[in-house]
Structure 1
Amino acid sequence: MDDTIMQSSSSACSYVDNEHSRSIIHIDVDCFYAQVEMLRNPELRAVPLGIQQKNIVVTSNYEARNYGVQKCMLVTDAVKVCPNLKLVSGEDLHNYRAASNKIFEVLLTWKCPVEKLGMDENFIDVTKLVEEKVKSGNQTLIGHMYNEMSMECPCGCHTRLKIASQIASDMRQKIYNDLGYTTCAGIAHNKLLAKLVCPLHKPNDQTTIFPESAEGFMSTLQSVRCIPSIGSKTTETLISHNIISVSDLQKASLEELKKNFSSDMAVRLKNLSLGEDSTPVKQTGRPQSIGLEDSFKTVSVKSEVEDKFSALLQRLLVLVREDGRIPVSLRVTLRKKDAKRLSSHRESRQCQISPSIFTITNGTLAVTDAGQQKLMTIIMRLFNKLIDLSKPFHLTLVGLAFTKFQERMTGRSSIVNYLMNDISVQSVLNLQNDCDTSATSMDYSAASPSSSTTTDLSDAEVEPSPKKPKKVNWIAKRRCLSKEEVASPSKLKVGELRLNSKELEKVSELRLNSRDRSLTPRASPAKDNLSDASDSMKDVAEGGNCDDCPSYVDKEVFNALPDEMQQELKAMWKNPSSSEVQRSSPRTTNKAKPNTILKYFVPHK
């Protein structure tokens, strides 16, 4: 090994341990659409097969590729290079989505984070699984290795990646055994390298790359566009500064890149060119949006646009039914034909929709004919906001998507059932102060069904969101606590000590009398009335420390309060008139009121 290789290996292995600690697998299904069709119809396996969408061959099997059929080739050109090409329509993606989900479920059986990338690609972080297997002693690498190096990295990444290659082989074998799909795989210490080395030995094979080979491998890429994180606009900017290949990007100085990009973006581009990527594998959950699009040469009549949307909606409702969640937001997308723009551009509008449009029938999400008509009305309203019908228009694409969801009801008594109701006010009737009940009543506020969903404010007027219910304060039922339940004051709820409606009326009337009389020189009648009232409210059983409590106070609850609170409440009950005068005195109206326990126990009008 010459000095340059030794230096490169030494510098590569000088990274800190955590830069090589991960083990990432990227699995890609060979000619995915074509394999789905060949499994559905085995007669297609022995013939050149192309999957057609509109006038394009989006993919083909390897028999057709041997004739020169390429991805995204025009159908007319594909037939010229392969006259016996068998074409199958692939515009309906239902079968492809179903196959993708099955592959994803197989990968989940390894109990590792799995991140979907499109329908035919998946990242799997097997770091923890490798750590469990590293002690087994079997370090045989399965598949190909990119530019095998003789120098071992001191962090142990070579051993870990060899074990990861064994796991990748097991995954690919299980996918084939269970579902019949052949796959290829890339194994590396980061997502970028795993994806880029994956197709090196297609089909039905796998490749492992060690960290010290990253920079050399990246320098072989002929275009910066080959790096997945670099888009078309960034590519155009780089090319305008004579940075065409990844090797050019490696040679460019950081200062030069910062002149055309932000500091963070410049560092990111430099790291990617060297094969460095710290992006984690994020476990894929249920999709945040479900959508479909239809492209065509041109449509210039509103009725034709409505037909396109209607067809998309029918297909979209099938996908939503399979998903099971209830949509609460709808987005419409259009692509206008514009000769002045070289690249196509899209415009979209979205709005909230009422969950009541969807119903649950025999455990399955469904939409009635009236519901579909309402959805079409919303769609065309959004369309009218995007298109000025007083002027000619030309569209080359329309799209529909449900962009936000709420989980479906799980039962009649589920809390979800209440949160999904499209209501404006929830009322509470016939609240009684029954001491024989065992249920605890608290203060509740009605929840809005759209509280967890938002939409573009500019479109909110299209379909009004469900009305947000006003907060309804419930007067809690007085709870008859057992001695065990009041062992600690921390178990008490302030709402449980509030008065019921009849007691509120009684005490309020008492307050009014005391207030009116306190403003006159004749104070003795007021005292007499108060004393009479106090006598009438002292109807409590003997025993405990609440001999002076009014009848509306639960003795056991009162006894569980701290002594300071008990004394404060007793003082208020003995002299309620002074408390009222102090509260209503003009001298104290502008002063900050002390945060006293009284405000929680004294009933308000």
Structure 2
Amino acid sequence: MDTCKKVPERRDGRDYDCFYASVFEAENPALKSLPLAVQQKQIIVTCNYEARKRGLHKLQLIREARTMCPEVVIVLGEDLTRFRDASKALYNFLKDFSWNERVEKLGFDEVWMDVTDIIDYNLNLLNGNDLLNSFFHLSKDDPTLGFGFDGSKYFGHTYPALAERTQPQDSAEDVLSIRLRLGSHLAQHIRHQLEERKGYTATVGISTSKLLSKLVGNVNKPKAQTTLVPPYISSEGLESSVTTFIDSHDVGKIPGIGFKAAHRIRKHVLRRDPDFDAGLIYGGTKEKVAVRDVRLSTSMGAEALEEVLAGPGSPYGLGCRVWCLINGLDDSEVGQVRSVPKQISIEDSYIRLDTMDEVLKELRMLANNLIKRMRLDLLGTDEDGGESSLINESEADQADGRISNRKRWLAHPKTLRLTTRPRPPLNPDGTRTRTFSRISRSAPLPGFVSNLQESVDALAAKLVTEALVPLFKKLHPEKSGWNLSLVNVAVTNMADTASDKKSATGRDIARMFNRQEDVLKEWRIEDRDMSSGTGGSCSSNGVELVNRGVYADAPVGFEDGMEPQHSMAADEEWTDEENGVEQTST
């Protein structure tokens, strides 16, 4: 547990404000001043703040929203393409600010950035005698690249709110304060650049872990930022701001504690099942159990949580992990920048899905969308510089669904997973017990899915017949009687293909040979007339190996009976390891 208490890192949690609505507003800025809601099926999945001022909210039925706010503009958000593309563009924009490439995306609209190295660098350059006129350096190589700021203050909101301090104190907590202040000004700069150059606003949380930065970022919304200020550890009767902050949250709102785990914890603390709110479309509980209630419960602790959360598939140590989260401790690192996702999944929910014909129809649709998504997220092109870039939406969605030969897979998923959420049967009184349990089966992903010369429709039909239907029958061996509210199809367990990247599983031999001409372009073989006695030959068969600019000095010709001389020692070897080509000059 001691490892959870280290606090040297600075982490920013960024959340784009009402992201789906913001994407439409970026496409049409006139929508920013209107109440806007994004519809999927018959509910609102998100709405902008103009709509929220009028009482609209997430997961509200469309008919209720129209009744409450007749002037609301409703746009369809069933097609996620525009949201994925916008999310990728914004992620690429943010990672350009990173030095260590620790930029981790969560869903479409949240990003963590580990800026520890940037803060360390600027802390060493900070002039403690003139904090009012500080300069934040954004580059180690260009000292002019950066911005001025007042280093004596935090930028934006703080939790808890505190009076402005003009001079630092000589204490360990104040060193942390200075670092957090630097982080708050960097966050403000990135937010400003995001809005000015991309047209998106964001809410940011600044703290020392992913857990705390995400939670504190929710305190002031929208278009704002909040820093969780010290003390982070209780001492001399002064309670930790971390404890005070996290204690007020419902246990189900803590990142890393899922719905099932939160339900079990509530049940343990209340000593009974908590009541559900029947009015919520996707369920929820009417009874809140605060983190403080859990932390101070006499029957609660890491070992007790291990027993409470134990069950089929529960990993060992889950209780200790959740106990750390409840106490505000999180030592998980921000992930490295990834060119491909860890998994790709497509799902849909249903009012009723209880016949095999309907299941086959839905599986074909999900498989079709899954393969399209794989081609968009996992295919790239080899560019002149040797880097692979992802293809765009139009290339992935050609009329016949086939891809040109110049594309290659950046990664191959090894596993196919099918997940369903069956509804329980009716109770004797006609009611149905609410459940959110999912069941899954996995199998190796068939290799034919990687065939780029086959159309998406043909591959999807084959995937359903040969893989998804057998998995479905293992999940639901009975021919009827089941009623599904959700089906999810996913590919996981990504294996990077051969490339020059360090994370690759091997070297790309085909690409190496394709680049051979460029590697050897400094050399060419010429036939020479040896009867003229011209120097420069390196053999008596009339063939000369001519070098173009590899050495600092050109080779010196030699006459019969003389040893060759050149600027490199005889028999010296040179190796081009990067391109996998080794040559010897003798």
Q: Is the 8 A contact 1:291 1:400 kept in 2?
A: yes
CA contact (8 A) 1:334 1:397 kept: yes
Three-state SS of the structure 2 residue aligned to 1:199 is coil
Deviation of the 1:370 alpha carbon: 4.2
Q: Equivalent pairs: percent with the same residue?
A: 31
Q: Deviations over 1:375-420 (max 9, x none)?
A: 2312233323333353333222222222244556879x944799xx
Partner of 1:95: 82
Asked if the contact 1:142/1:165 (under 8 Å) is kept, the reply is yes
Please tell me whether residue 229 in structure 1 is matched to residue 256 in structure 2.
yes
Map 1:4-403 onto structure 2 (within 5 A): 19-109=6-96, 110-112=98-100, 113-134=102-123, 135-137=125-127, 138=134, 139=151, 140-147=153-160, 148=162, 152=169, 153-155=171-173, 156-212=175-231, 213-221=241-249, 223-242=250-269, 244-253=289-298, 258-261=303-306, 268-285=321-338, 286-323=340-377, 324=379, 325=409, 326-339=412-425, 341-360=433-452, 367=455, 370-378=458-466, 379-388=468-477, 390-403=479-492
1:24 and 1:189 in contact (8 A); partners too: yes
Deviation at 1:31, TM superposition (A): 0.3
AA at the equivalent of 2:112 = F
Residue identity matched to 2:292? S
1:409, 1:384 → 2: CA distance?
Answer: 36
Q: 1:211 to 1:398 in 2, by over 3 A?
A: same
Cα distance, 1:128–1:397 mapped onto 2, change above 3 Å: same
User: Cα gap change, 1:67/1:390 in structure 2, threshold over 3 Å: closer, same or farther?
Assistant: same
- What CA distance in whole angstroms lies between the structure 2 residues aligned with 1:387 and 1:249? 38
**Amino acid of the structure 1 residue aligned with 2:251:** V
Deviation for aligned residue 1:217: 1.7
Cα RMSD, aligned residues only: 3.3
Q: Report the TM-score when normalising by structure 2.
A: 0.62
CA distance in structure 1 between the partners assigned to 2:476 and 2:294 by the alignment:
43
Superposed CA offset, 1:33-82 (max 9, x none): 00011222334223211111112211100111001111112222222222
What residue identity is the alignment partner of 1:194?
S
Question: Contact conserved, 2:246 with 2:326, CA < 8 A, in 1?
Answer: yes
Q: Which runs of 5+ in 1 are unaligned?
A: 1-14, 419-482, 486-605
Pairwise CA distance, 1:330 = 2.5
1:466 alignment counterpart: none
How many Å apart are 1:21 and its aligned residue?
Answer: 1.4
What is the aligned length?
A: 402
Residue 18 of structure 1: how far off its partner (Å): 7.4
The structure with the greater share of residues assigned to strand is 2
The Cα shift of 1:19 comes to 2.6
Letter paired with 2:464: M
Deviation at 1:269, TM superposition (A): 4.7
2 CA distance for matches of 1:64 and 1:29?
17
Give ranges in structure 2 of 5+ residues lacking alignment: 128-133, 135-150, 232-240, 271-288, 308-315, 380-408, 426-431, 501-506, 513-569, 573-586
Secondary structure, counterpart of 2:21 in structure 1: helix
Give the C-alpha shift of residue 373 in structure 1.
3.2
- 1:283 is aligned with what amino acid? Q
Question: 1:511-530 residue pairs with structure 2 within 5 A?
Answer: none
Bigger CA radius of gyration: 1
SS in 1 for 2:465: helix
